[in-house]
Amino acid sequence: MFPASFDFYRAHSAEEAVSLLGEHGADSRILAGGQSLIPAMRYRLAQPTVLVDINQMQAANYITEENGELRIGATVRDSDLEFSDLIRTNYQLMSDVSDVVADPIVRFRGTLIGSLCHNDPSGDWPAAMLAARAKMIIQNKDGKRVVNADEFIVDSFTTAVEEGEMAVETIWPTPSKNTGASYQKIERKVGDYATAAAAVQLELNEDGTVKEAGIGITAVSYVALRVAEGEALLRGQKVTRNLIKAVAAEASKMADPIADGRGSAEYKKEVVGVLVAKGIMQSLERLGRKVEA
Amino acid sequence: MSDQIKDLNPAKECRAMGKSIKRREDARFVQGRGTYVDDIELPKMLHMAIVHSPYAHALIKGIDTAEALKVPGVKAIITAKDLAGFNLDWIPTLAGDKQMVLATDRVMYQYQEVAAVFAETRAQAVDAAQLVEVDYEPLEVVADPFKAREDKVILRTDREKKTNHIFNWNVGDREATDKALAEAEVRVKQKAYYPRVHASPLEPCAIVADMNTATGRLTLYLTSQAPHAHRTVVSLVTGIPESNIRIVSPDIGGGFGNKVPVYPGYVCAAAGTIVLGVPVKWVATRTESMTTDSFARDFHMEAEIGATKEGKVTALKVTTVADHGAFDAAADPSKYPAGLFSICTGSYDFPTAFTEVDAYYTNKTPGGVAYRCSFRVTEASYMIERAMDTAARELNMDPAEFRFKNFIQKEQFPYNSPLGWTYDSGDYETTFKVALEKVGYEELRKEQAEKRAKGEIMGIGISTFTEIVGAGPSKDFDILGIKMFDGAEIRIHPTGSVIVRAGTKSQGQGHETTWAQIVAEELGLDVDKILVEEGDTDTAPYGLGTYASRSTPTAGGALALGARRIREKAKRIAAHLLEVSADDIEWEDYKFQIKGVPSKSVTTQDCAFAAYTNPAPGDEPGLETTYYYDPPNLTFPHGAYICVVDIDKSTGEVKVRRFVAIDDCGTIINPMIVEGQVHGGLAEGFAMAFMQEIVYDEEGNHLNTNYTDYLIPTAYEVPKFETGNTVTPSPHHPIGAKGVGESPTVGSPAAYVNAVIDALSPYGVSEIDMPISREKVFSKLRAAGVEAF
Amino acid sequence: MKLNYDGQEQINADYDAVWAFINNPEKVAKCLPDVEKLEITGDKSFTAHVKVGVGPVRGRFKFDVGLEPDAENNKMNVNLRGGGLGTAIDLTAGANIAQQQEQTQLDWQGEAVVRGPAATVGARVLDRKARELITHVFAEVKRNIDEEQA
């Protein structure tokens, strides 16, 4: 099938985009990579009457590291992150995700901010956003505001971005040198939605105890979830096998997956815990640390 | 090299046969200059869109087309009532059943075709189709064959016998087999479900139907693997004489058996053009392809093997419940409603065997014979290779050793199987030894023992299959009464180049190259000067098309023998040119020479020129022939596949570390093409083993309507394949060739699955069904107490 | 795809008022969200053209709704059949009505069967949205009856 008919506008600035969105209301959508929107339109499950294309917004194409933060604009593609030396050396979690999000071809078009705004319950970037404690800057006709990850993720396919608004920048804190991270994803084939996935970022103290922990899980509920209970268990502790088991159990407890072709609810619930465990173990390994018995 | 080839050219190497000549067809495909059905645009052409049922089983209370007809550009909307006026509401299936074209008083499977819309543009047709309102009254759904078997809800109210049971087909000696099983020292049972799968050709089905009211000719540009058979069916069904029907199958983007049936979309398009007097195009959407194309497999099988405790098999029984969907559209030869399933004794010498298939209607899409199945050989081969591994395990024997002990020996060929086949030739031991050597079997078993001691999981799976292709000899094979010979026409032009036409139809098999190679070899001509055409029923000689790996065994035979017949005539021309009698001429080193005098010779080109400029007295001018070849038997390719897997115990992921495939398809025409076929089939086998299944829920909802839900492996998933060949020619085939297209799809799934079971057997696992998901493996490991981390 | 829901509403009205409301197709129809067009087709039935959206997934659906009162058992059964976007939806719901002092309690449960492309492509999303919509409908029933009484 092919999409129902729609009008097409090209915005050259965020102000222009926001103005168009405000003018055309709820049936207008931003078109960036289009890698989620266009398939929905082809099935006619989405029938926006207006598309506002931002691909020509040159000013939105930036990856800037400054003042302990990474700032990324609205037209930055997954592949820009995948092939960036800066990301690979300083932002391990982002680097892991950018290797496995969607598929290698989609990554040349799909954008980081687009994925976050789409907020698919099985999306990789939302889970990473939670674990990394990232933020989003949202712009409307009155100005901008900053929203943190927990508040940004509202519901399936629903974020804090309201009608007439556009997400213009995402901010990811620069991890310290004592931070290890890992993204663990299982998928049936490249390009499939995750069967389950876990984003883990651990900052250690000098003595090897956990200073801060970020754990995000996805594809196991109506949105990506932050395993706050698991993070709390880790804080201040040396990481032992038993502790890892307990944290994994917290992740499984939070998970409320639906059964589908990827697996039964029981399997997904159990395996997301395994992935959190593997994420913790790989994060430590990457710091040259061992898990205590 | 086969004896037949040696006759051609005793001392020298072949010129064309056995060469990896680049495929003639590839240049235009790669440059995007092929001609597919969707490339065909005719003046005043209308587009057709189909309205599908969301219900699996429901009465149709009414169809309201009023809103849809208001869409600008819409010319007509038809339902079964309109088709009934032409007697086209039901058509015969290739299995001898009948099926609705558009749903009559009820729908029988989800996505069944209910109405067809004709409009000026495709967009208009699609928009209008969405506006057609159908009033359904849902009926109870029968979504599995076991429920169908109970006959509580009868699906086919149109049939005389009110039952969901379609047929029982059996062969072999039931009593002797039961007795042998009862008396066996070791008796092993193995169930195997071969899931419903879909071949997923890249190009969906398509048609441009063009009734020229001035000439009375109906031309169908059609994605057809069997254009002549389709022409005959269209004639019988419409009453239009065959001379007024032309079917043109242009380039086809993959068939795999999906383009053998006659689909409702074709009939609607044909009806549309006949009534509206303008061409009509219909191209299936991907959703339509996934949900209404002929499916493949869906066999619930159980095998029982009896053996002595030393490991010699004594009996085999295989019983099957087959799910055929709402209409029996399994395009099998008429005497074989369950296809060639009785090859299930495989490569092994069973003294007695019996097999039985019971088929049932269900509320699912019809079909059954597709996806490189060689007429149900995929199912049979999978069953026996799985069962043999289970038997080996039961006997505590290495599965390789068990197979060697039971192989049909080379001296036993031609071999009469207990289920009625005469295998032409085979050398299972040699092929298997090559595979075992190549994979390093002994070292792998050592490695496995070491890994097991450390709790690491590794498995080795074997499949030493024999399959059966080349349907088939006229005494036993026909489709809707048409015998399964094939035809080839060879015409040599005055300047020595050739046009070849065959009754087969390549959808990627490479006939434009391989048929040229055969003729080039037989006549000593230049491959590049031989043009091969297939697919136009106005010009190609009658044939039964390309599927089930039948082309080389049948049309290949016709080409070789046709070329030899030409050689006979050319011999007379040569004699005339060399001024001797025909008895003094011999064919030597690709030349006609006076016996023993190589300096006095002429080539086939010389003879061709003479045929037009200086014909031999008493002979017709020209140099051509049409040959219809009725094969005396089928052919029996075989192979030995070995798969090595490593399993991640934390997630249940199975990684295929190695896959060695040694195939024996007899004489090889083009090694590169054979290798390509093998890679394709092994990838499909991988897909079925690990990823693919068409699932219907209890309500008859089809859950895999797109490629998010139905998985096709990418280069990231498909393992690396190591391929090789042995050559055991077919003694009865004119060039000793057997066919190979389906072998890898036939033989590989069992190798993958046996490898996983071998890996998990220390944990007490003996059962696992395709597709092997991570979850299936994960559950078994957790159940066996293996910790994830 | 089968979806199951249940819930409860406490209505500030007596049994008869509640019963009268839910037997009235026009009043029940007004409790559906985003109704673009409404046709009362009988004294116990109506057809509603509804706009439904979940994030980017938005479309128009047409629902035929039949009310089947079962006064003897203090129950109202509802049958909904409809579709849109090539999808068919069948919903059977029932509400048990019981008076408790000054309030009436409505215990409702429903089962929806979704067929067609939305069932597979939209499955992960439909469950949540459908639950939201059905809960919304019964909440609206309560709100409207409460208002009538006030």
Asked whether the beta carbons of residue C55 and residue A37 sit closer than 8 angstroms, the reply is no
Q: Is the pLDDT of residue C131 over 80?
A: no
Name which CATH class applies to B295-471+633-783: alpha beta
The fold adopted by the segment(s) B37-139+204-252+259-292 is Aldehyde Oxidoreductase; domain 3 (3.90.1170)
Average pLDDT over residues A151-169: 94
- B39 CB burial (10 A radius; 0-12, 13-18, 19+): middle
Residue type, B227: P
Q: Is the pLDDT of residue A202 over 80?
A: yes
Pair type for strands C57-70 and C45-54: antiparallel
Asked whether the beta carbons of residue B708 and residue A192 sit closer than 8 angstroms, the reply is yes
* CATH architecture under which domain B3-34+486-629 falls: 2-Layer Sandwich (3.30)
Chain-centre distance for alpha carbon B315: 29
Asked whether the beta carbons of residue A278 and residue B789 sit closer than 8 angstroms, the reply is yes
pLDDT for the residue numbered B1:
39
Chains that touch A (3 or more CB pairs under 8 A): B, C
Q: Among residues A157, A102, A94, A99, which one has the least CA distance to residue A127?
A: A94
Confidence of residue C119 (pLDDT cuts 50, 70, 90): low
Q: What is the pLDDT of residues B324-371, one digit of tens each?
A: 999 999 999 999 999 999 999 999 999 999 999 999 999 999 999 999
Asked if B648 reaches chain A (Cβ–Cβ under 8 Å), the answer is: no
Asked if B35 reaches chain A (Cβ–Cβ under 8 Å), the answer is: no
pLDDT for the residue numbered B7:
45
Please report the domains of chain A, with CATH numbers, ordered by start residue.
7-53 (3.30.43.10), 58-173 (3.30.465.10), 181-286 (3.30.390.50)
Q: For residue C91, what are the contacts with CB-CB under 8 A and spacing of at least 6?
A: C78, C79, C80, C81, C110, C111, C112, C113
Clarify whether B113 is annotated catalytic: no
Segment 99-138 of chain C within 8 Å of chain B by CB: 113, 115-117, 119-121
Asked whether the beta carbons of residue A281 and residue B691 sit closer than 8 angstroms, the reply is no
Domain residue spans in chain C? Answer: 2-149
Asked if B703 reaches chain C (Cβ–Cβ under 8 Å), the answer is: yes
CB-nearest to B691 from A189, A195, A263 is: A189
Mutate which of A38, A99, A188 to disrupt the B interface (most B C-beta within 10 Å)?
A188
Helices (H), B85-137: 122-131
pLDDT for the residue numbered B11:
46
A to C CB pairs, distance under 8 Å:
54
Residue type, B46: L
Under-50 pLDDT residues of chain B: 1-11
Which one has a higher pLDDT value, C101 or A74?
A: A74
Helices (H), C77-122: 117-121
Asked whether the beta carbons of residue B54 and residue C87 sit closer than 8 angstroms, the reply is yes
Chain A residue with Cα closest to C124: A258
Q: What is the pLDDT of residues A234-279, one digit of tens each?
A: 999 999 999 999 999 999 999 999 888 899 999 999 999 999 999 9
Confidence of residue C123 (pLDDT cuts 50, 70, 90): low
According to DSSP, residue B554 is labeled I
Q: What is the mean pLDDT of chain C?
A: 82
Asked whether the beta carbons of residue A46 and residue C122 sit closer than 8 angstroms, the reply is no
According to DSSP, residue B395 is labeled T
Predicted TM-score (pTM) of the model is: 0.93
Q: For residue B547, what are the contacts with CB-CB under 8 A and spacing of at least 6?
A: B225, B226, B255, B257, B260, B331
Asked whether the beta carbons of residue B706 and residue C121 sit closer than 8 angstroms, the reply is yes
pLDDT for the residue numbered A42:
81
Clarify whether B677 is annotated catalytic: no
**Using an 8 Å Cβ cutoff, are A135 and A222 in contact?**
no
pLDDT for the residue numbered B9:
41
Q: Which helix (H) or strand (E) holds A35?
A: none
Clarify whether B658 is annotated catalytic: no
**Using an 8 Å Cβ cutoff, are B487 and B557 in contact?**
no
Asked whether the beta carbons of residue B136 and residue C88 sit closer than 8 angstroms, the reply is yes
Q: What is the mean pLDDT of chain B?
A: 95
Q: Is the pLDDT of residue C55 over 70?
A: no
**Using an 8 Å Cβ cutoff, are B61 and B136 in contact?**
yes
Asked whether the beta carbons of residue B697 and residue C1 sit closer than 8 angstroms, the reply is yes
The domains spanning B3-34+486-629 and B295-471+633-783 adopt the same CATH topology: yes
CB-nearest to A121 from C53, C56, C124 is: C124
Clarify whether B225 is annotated catalytic: yes
pLDDT for the residue numbered B6:
46
Residue percentage of chain B with pLDDT more than 90: 94
Considering the candidates B156, B231, B297, B372, report the single residue annotated as catalytic.
B372
Asked if A188 reaches chain B (Cβ–Cβ under 8 Å), the answer is: yes
Considering the candidates B205, B268, B344, B373, report the single residue annotated as catalytic.
B373
pLDDT for the residue numbered C53:
66
Residue percentage of chain C with pLDDT more than 70: 84
pLDDT for the residue numbered C93:
86
Name which CATH class applies to C2-149: alpha beta
Q: Is the pLDDT of residue A104 over 50?
A: yes
**Using an 8 Å Cβ cutoff, are B735 and B551 in contact?**
no
Q: Is the pLDDT of residue C87 over 80?
A: no
Q: Among residues A223, A218, A254, which one has the least CA distance to residue A156?
A: A223
Range of A78-82, B694-698, C47-51, C98-102 with top mean pLDDT: A78-82
Average pLDDT over residues A101-118: 96
b/e per residue B272-308 (b: at least 16 CB within 10 A):
bbbbbebbbbbbbbebbbbbbbbbbbbbbbbbbbbbe
Considering the candidates B99, B225, B593, B677, report the single residue annotated as catalytic.
B225
pLDDT for the residue numbered C113:
80
Q: Report the C-alpha gap between C33 and B777 in whole angstroms.
A: 45
pLDDT for the residue numbered C86:
66
Confidence of residue C29 (pLDDT cuts 50, 70, 90): confident
pLDDT for the residue numbered C136:
84
CA angle B563, B565, B570 (to 5 degrees): 90
Task: Tell me the torsion sign for CA atoms B526, B528, B529, B531.
Answer: positive
Domain residue spans in chain B? Answer: 3-34+486-629, 37-139+204-252+259-292, 295-471+633-783
A to B CB pairs, distance under 8 Å:
60
Q: Among residues B479, B500, B497, B496, which one has the least CA distance to residue B488?
A: B500
Q: Report the C-alpha gap between B642 and C20 in whole angstroms.
A: 73
